Structure 1
Amino acid sequence: MPTDARPTTDAHPTTGTCPATDAPGLPTDAPGLPAARGPLSAAVLASLRHPAPTHLAPVLAEVPADPWGEDVQLTLYVCYELHYRGFAGVDPAWEWSPPLLALRGRLERAFLDALRREVGEPPPLAEVLAGLLVEPPDGDGPSHHLLTAGTRQQAREYLAHRSLYHLKEADPQMWAVPRLPNPAKAALVAVQYDEYGAGRPERAHAELFAAMMADFGLDPTYGAYLDAVPAPALAVVNTMSLFGLHRALRAALVGQFAAVEITSPPGAARLAEAFERLGATPRGTLFYREHVLADAVHEQLVRHTVIDPLLTLADCPGPEIAFGALAYLRAEDRFADHLMAAWRHDHDHDPAPGHDPDPASGYGHGFESGSLRAPLPEFDPGPATTGSPVPEGADR
């Protein structure tokens, strides 16, 4: 972290920081601002390049109609990221800027309404939780495809998409801790202790995911692929951030967390096997191998020691927990549909062997793959990363 607070003539009067540089104490790995994807995100990103607050009233009247679209989802992601690591060169005071929070609130209401429309009236919670334990017999999502027919390039695309989530894995759920009764709080912290490496920083799940990215020739830097990742993947992360940042939605956040812990082991097992088939080293499969066992245990903890105490609270009803689980799964379904449609498109338009496709031809929608908004160049992590060993106990 930078410790040399140099005085400047254009320092913000409240924070004492220069808007054009990282503030003292801001992590040096904060990503840069992404490129805009429409008039709304363009206006917000332009404002963030100046000291907070900036007048955003003209933007408020121009909120796009599609809450699932690129412009809205990127704008929401940028607003939420100010509560995580922020962005390099952005005044930290933007995190609590009233005009920006007002805009975010309008976008959140539209997005939450869209999630509720997708879910409809949720079934009883017991029925939802039981359903999460059942794998569909005819599964055809990304993990099934990568296991049976996926390519290494598709695995790289999948990891780039997932990096916006897994490099901040467990962070959104931490916002639930001060908002839960003590029994549920203790159980959630026990699960989170595992997520953050159980006292061993190198085994934090975000670190294991970064090592897996490097194994596949991807840049493991936090936020490196924000410009490449489209709205369906952003919506998965935004759903967690939406639930996490609002105390009124803490039951939905617990439902989302339960859905992740209950449904992930089978998919993690498929992905570990798929990546091994595609040439991954042990470092390239450890993240998913770790989740096969860990999440099976976490599922029991979440169901019996987090959810059960919540059901005793009048303002944490079962239907809201069920909604959180189903809303997250709907966002995941949209992401899976996007990936599979893009991969089918690429397969149907696959050029002849040895032929480099013309981006103008429509192959891959002008990119390496239609699942991403930009190509994935091979990343050389250098000897310090490539030579790092698999953490002790990785093959247990």
Structure 2
Amino acid sequence: MAASALVLGAGMVGVSVALHLRRRGMDVVLLDRQGPGEGASFGNGGLLQREAVHPHPFPRDWSELWRIAGNRAVDATYHPVALPGLALPLLRYWWHSEPARYARIAEAYAKLIATCLDEHLALARGTPAAALLRPIGWMRLFSTPQRLEAALALAEAARRDHGVGYRALDGAALAAAEPHLQVARAGALHWTDPLSVSDPHALTLEYAARFTEAGGSLARGDATTLTRHGAGWRVQAQQGGVEAAQVVVALGAAAGQVTRRLGYAPPLFGKRGYHRHFRLRGNAVLHRPILDTESGFLLAPMQAGIRLTTGAEFARDAAPPTPVQLARAEPLARRLLPLGEAVEASPWMGVRPCTPDMLPIIGPLPGQPGAWCAFGHAHQGLTLGPTTGRLLAEMMTGETPFLDPAPYRAERFN
């Protein structure tokens, strides 16, 4: 069992960890109660966000806080009954968003983001996954020249400090780039580096196929059955007990359900998100993903149709879906683009796993030799899966990590 590992969670992060471990010669079982990529990796904007060098801070402007408190926005909403349980992690999130603290966090975050395209391409190159990665970037649309200019100033700083690529479009250039927009905008910021994924679920499945082709094993089972077994670990799968010397918890928002039983209770909290696909009317097309800054929704061309996504919803873990943000966004999106009928009968919902300091948890699980963490990636699990997979695999196999893992260590929350 010395060179064996269990990876719990088959989202983009877990699949990437499993693939990197298998390529380093370990015997790996990847376990999930669902198929690969059927959790939060299934639903997102489909962007590998090389430009996202700054994580999402907690709003500190009073007018912005007041807008969100009204609970009528597209980009953020909440269930009032959930707020008492979220008060402490949200307070810590606000504390870490103080400008000086945030600057240090963003420095560590940017080092992960800077690697994301290279790490994805290293897994996808020469495989069917490469066809899913479109080098088209994405656009933020602005209604006023003033807001566009402010965004361009921040983009220029990102280019200067982190090598991020962008271009500015005025209203005429935007209309030429996306001729089927039905509403005029002052212009757009086009982030040129990101890759747009035409089917995020298919991308996760492709990486999972590389894992099984390399000799890795997939299993269905309940990660909460994890127990110590001698010097190693055991979990119950449909085909029986599975044992390994090491275990990786890559369960996203559900990670705490396993780690708390092992003495580690990180202050994770979930941001729920929704999406739904729509057909376009007539011969209309959308060439690249667009985010309407004024309204707070993203429209992305996917294989299944135009995916409409929302921001964050804060709710209790077991609360049923309440896609009110999609209901608010859809009429606005229809004014912007000639959307036709919905593809699915009902919206999809998933939960993004967030930490108060906006950094993922990557590294040894405190007090549990042979146990490792790979969760807490918030909005960037799709983007950072392969980076996390490589970094953790190098740590687990005794290689020199290609990035300093210290900022992402689990002990920072103990």
TM category (shorter chain) comes to under 0.3
TM-score using structure 2 length: 0.22
Give me the TM-score of the superposition, normalised by structure 1: 0.23
Decide which structure has greater strand share: 2
Larger RCO: 1 or 2 (CA < 8 Å, sep 6+): 2
Which has a greater percent of helix? Answer: 1
